[in-house]
Structure 1
Amino acid sequence: MSNPIAPDRSTVPAPVPSPGRRGGRLRTASLRRRVTVAVWLLLAIMVAVLALATAIALSARLDTQLRQRLQDRAEIGAALVGQVSDRELVDQIEGDGVSVVLVTASGAQYSKGPLAGASTGTRTATAQPPGPRGPAAAPGPADPVVVQGDLYRIDTRLSDGARLTLIASAADVRRTIAQVEVVLVVGGLLVLLAAAAVLGPLVGRALRPLAEMTETARSITAGDRGRRLRPTRPETELGRTAVAFDAMLDAVEGAETQARSAEDRLRTFLSDAAHELRTPLAGARAATEQVLRSDLPREERERRLVTAIRENDRAARLVDDMLTMARIDQGLELRPTEADLTALAERAVAIRTLSAPDARLRVDGDPVPVRVEPDRIVQIVTNLLDNALRAGGPTTGVRLTTRIRDGWAELEVIDDGPGIPAADAARVFDRLVRLDAARSRTEATGPDKGFGLGLPIARGIARAHGGDLVCVPKPTGSGATFLLTLPAV
């Protein structure tokens, strides 16, 4: 019997790679082995090319010298005709590996040298004028030298009608080239064997900084978060890698610190929020229990129920503020339109005048065009006015001034309340923070008491618009000043 809750594996989607991870898998073959093999192969190719080039160049050089030697002896023989006897001519030309055969016009033959018998039955080449002298002479179409196996032969018709044949063997040249090739091959193999034995340690020494990086990474993983590579030469390849490695570690350590700080702030925020919610909920519960358990007069019962409703409203406002802060942290979505900052300030003042008719609220300034979401800006100004009224009382005087300065639209809110100490000018924007005793949790039971979220919300909305909200430090007792800046159109 099949399991009714077992999933159908034919319909289970394949796992999708995480969008945060890009690229394929890193190839982790041994870098030391790869570099060693690559260098050894390059060295082997260079040795082979050098040996081949040496053998070819030596063979061409020796061949050219042998041909040139025959041509030089032929020229000497032509120059000696008529000056010496035929026998003396043969004796002077023979030698240095060259054998001579001289056939006179009358048919007499004179020969000398070990290769003189090789001239019998061979083909005679047409005599040609001698070509360029020297090592650079190369055989070509006009070359009088005839090659028959290892024998190099040249036939010359002398001026007296005699035929001079010169013969030389290239066997010694071949043996010399073969010996050189053997020496090159053996020497190349010995060089490659020595390179194979030396390259490994040399490459390992060159890659030692990578081992230090690995050791540093392992020590950091083990808990030594402050350890860094700090390269002595950051302009080199390994230096740039080490600098990037240190920068990555700094970023990771900073992100870890921020994450821990955010976690601590979240825990503190949740603890404070729970404490704030406990007060209105306890008040609403106490009022409701008194109505249920006691036979109170109508007026007293209605008063208790109104208290329960007010405490419930306080809890609802706190929840709304917390949701607003959550939206700001996630990235507040805005629908900006062109508006007048002065008109938006007047709109917020009109709203607060209804709830605080005795307050002295005034707006000064010319029209300041901005591109914002109007309701959010009104919410900022309203929070600032509420903060001023809570601190200074229902008759507080508040002056709002708008202007454009250096391409920024500014709204300055100044009240005549007790002010904010300079040391607390930045702390007032922390969540659930209230500075004076009137805002303490022990007395935050009235409907006009705040939760310490108004200013953080106002700053978050301002920064979501690309601006900012700051508290301008002033002497204590001279009132509080808040400055809202927004990009001007």
Structure 2
Amino acid sequence: MAAPALRSGSLRRRTIVAVLALVAVLLIVLSVVVDVALGARLRGQIEERLRDRAAAAASLVGTVDDTDLAERLSDQGLAVRIDSAGGGSIVAGPSPEQLRDGPRGPGGPGPGEPAAPQPTATGSAVTVVASSVGGDDDLVTLSSTLSDGSTLTLTASAVGVQDTLVQVRWIMAIASAVVLALAAGAVIVIVRATLRPLDQVSEVARSIGAGERGRRLRPTRPDTEIGRVATALDDMLDDVVGAEEAARGAERRLRAFLSDAAHELRTPVAGIRAAADTLVRADLEGPDREMLAAQVAREAARASRLVDDLLMMARVDRGLELTRADVDLRGLVRAEAERAPLLYPHLDLRATVPDAPVVASVDVDRIGQVLSNLIENAARATGGRGSVRVGVNEGPTEVVVTVADDGPGVAEGDRERIFDRLVRLDPARSSTGVGLGLPIARGIARAHGGDVRCLPNEGGALFVVTLPRGERRG
């Protein structure tokens, strides 16, 4: 299943839009709060004014008649209605419809304007028994029950409140637009400066893609968000460049290996072809014919062995399938020491093994091939007539097998190079080999979790094989 595509919208644009949207929402909320609070405050002032008038009227009950009281209250721009306890009603001042139109009452404040405080009588027993406030958006009505049983209804215009709120809304809208514009400019500048490191990341990535493999971001603050991204990108680039160099090195080694292998195969194939042509075309009898036949067999065996070694290297690269068992390596070392004189009759090979078992967890056939390759390498180094010593010991965590010869030895700079494929040193150490025995031995040992190394030694070469320990029985 394919991975979902990365959403690659503009981070700068999304950040700016998100911040401006948040600022706009906050301004809208602020405008609504101001509108509601201011409207409630202005209506509250009108209600307080009506309560003051009702209290003043209550203090005058009994001292003036209802008609005079209604006229006094209506002079302040209020609609007045007095319903006496006996059933009569007196109406004075503008009607509610006139108040909705917002006329300024004579001598009174305009709609929505607080009235000046009126003197109230003191020491009077007549008070407001109960009152209630009502009305709509344009009017505020206060009904009060006086102590003499009459009902006083005062109505004031709230048109001024709405006009004030409309003006405040316009002011808030214009101010919000200005604030939003200023915020947009500030956010654009800040976001551009904040995201500039991402532009640097893009620039470095493009330069690396163009061939500047050594460029890196190297953030000054790797603990920040952008620093962590830059550090991860640097690590990835190091891995990619390292993998690229390793791939190129492997390709170069592969080409050199194929070239060397073809060169090594060309010699026996050419010998076989020449001998075969001679046998076919020439009329040879006796020793000459036998000599050519022996040469064909010898060159064919050489080519066959080279092909086998190449196949073994391919298996090592692919990964060997091992059949492990806990084996006493003393028997394996003795068996290889007994087989060597059959191949190299003049070689002085001695095996040194301890009295106690040396158990390793190995594939017997593969480790036998490792020992055979090392002994063969020692035999070639000594011309088949030198002295070779094979030993096995058990260490604290591993088993160690050593193969030492008294040949010319290996220079310090060549102790790792001899494990490369098809590498042959001076003729004293490689008169007949093709340079695959040591790489095969190391590959098999490493497949077991061990290794093969060439260590310094006086008077010849010393190869050390390390293998994992096994479990002793009984």
| Alignment TM class, shorter chain as reference | 0.7 to 0.9
Residue 309 of structure 1: CA displacement?
0.7
Alignment of 1:183 onto 2:171: yes
| TM-score, scaled to structure 1 | 0.77
Decide which moves more: 383-392 or 94-103. Answer: 94-103
CA distance in 1, matches of 2:291, 2:150: 154
Tell me what 1:372 maps to.
Answer: 362
* Cα RMSD (Å): 3.5
Q: Structure 1 residue 314: deviation in Å?
A: 0.8
Q: Does the aligned pair in 2 maintain the 1:328–1:461 contact within 8 Å?
A: yes
Partner of 1:414: 404
Q: Which amino acid aligns with 1:437?
A: P
1:401 aligns with 2:392: yes
Deviation at 1:246, TM superposition (A): 1.8
Kept in 2, the 8 Å contact 1:415–1:481? The answer is: no
Partner SS state of residue 25, structure 1? coil
Structure 1 residues not aligned, in runs of 5+: 1-16, 120-141
Give structure 2 stretches of 5+ with no counterpart.
Answer: 100-129
Measure the CA separation in 2 of the matches of 1:308 and 1:373.
Answer: 35
User: How far off its partner does 1:313 sit?
Assistant: 0.7
Q: Which residue type is aligned with residue 29 of structure 1?
A: G
Distance 2:75 2:291 in 1: 143
Offset of residue 281 of structure 1: 2.5
Structure 1 residue 199: Cα displacement: 4.4
Q: Which residue of 2 aligns with 1:245?
A: 233
2:7 match:
27
The match for 2:468 is 486
- Which has the larger displacement, 180-189 or 245-254? 180-189
In structure 2, distance between residues paired with 1:283 and 1:46: 93
Aligned residue for 2:155, secondary structure, equals strand
Secondary structure, aligned partner of 2:428: helix
Q: 2:209 aligned with 1:221, yes or no?
A: yes
Deviation at 1:96, TM superposition (A): 8.1
How far did 1:144 drift? 1.6
Residue 318 (structure 1) shift: 1.0
Cα 1:439–1:420 shift into 2, 3 Å: closer
The letter for the 2-side match of 1:225 is R
Of 265-274 and 49-58, the range deviating more from structure 2: 49-58
Query: 1:387 aligned to 2:377?
Result: yes
**Closer, same or farther: CA 158–231 of 1 in aligned 2, 3 Å:** same
Secondary structure of the residue that 1:474 maps to in structure 2? coil
- 8 Å CA contact 2:96–2:139 kept in 1: the answer is no
Counterpart-to-counterpart distance in 1, 2:86 and 2:286: 168
Which among 405, 417, 425 is matched to residue 415 of structure 2?
425
Matched, 1:280 2:265: no
Secondary structure in 2 aligned to 1:438?
Answer: coil
Q: Distance in 1 between matches of 2:141 and 2:399?
A: 105
User: 1:113, 1:299 → 2: CA distance?
Assistant: 154
Q: How many residues align?
A: 437
Structure 1 pair 164/143, CA: closer, same or farther in 2 (3 Å)? closer
Residue by residue over 1:438-484, the C-alpha shift from the partner in whole angstroms, topping out at 9 and shown as x without a partner, is 345xxx4xxxx221111111111122222222112234x25423232
CA distance in 1, matches of 2:439, 2:265: 18
Q: Equivalents in 2 of 1:336, 1:233: separation in Å?
A: 52
CA distance in 2, matches of 1:397, 1:149: 116
2:425 is aligned with 1:435:
yes
Q: Structure 1 residues 391, 195: closer, same or farther in 2, change over 3 A? A: same
> Helix, strand or coil for the counterpart of 1:362?
strand
Deviations 1:171-226 (A, max 9, x none): 22222222222222233333334445554454344332222222222222222221
Matches within 5 A, 1:75-474: 75=55, 77-78=57-58, 80=59, 144-148=132-136, 150-196=138-184, 199-357=187-345, 358-365=347-354, 366-392=356-382, 393-405=384-396, 407-440=397-430, 444=431, 449-474=432-457
Q: 1:91 to 1:340 in 2, by over 3 A?
A: farther
Please tell me whether residue 51 in structure 1 is matched to residue 31 in structure 2: yes
The alpha carbon displacement at 1:250 in A equals: 1.7
The CA distance in 2 between the partners of 1:302 and 1:32, in whole Å, is 88
Secondary structure at the residue paired with 2:214? coil
The question of whether the paired residues in 2 share the 8 Å contact of 1:422 and 1:474 is answered with no
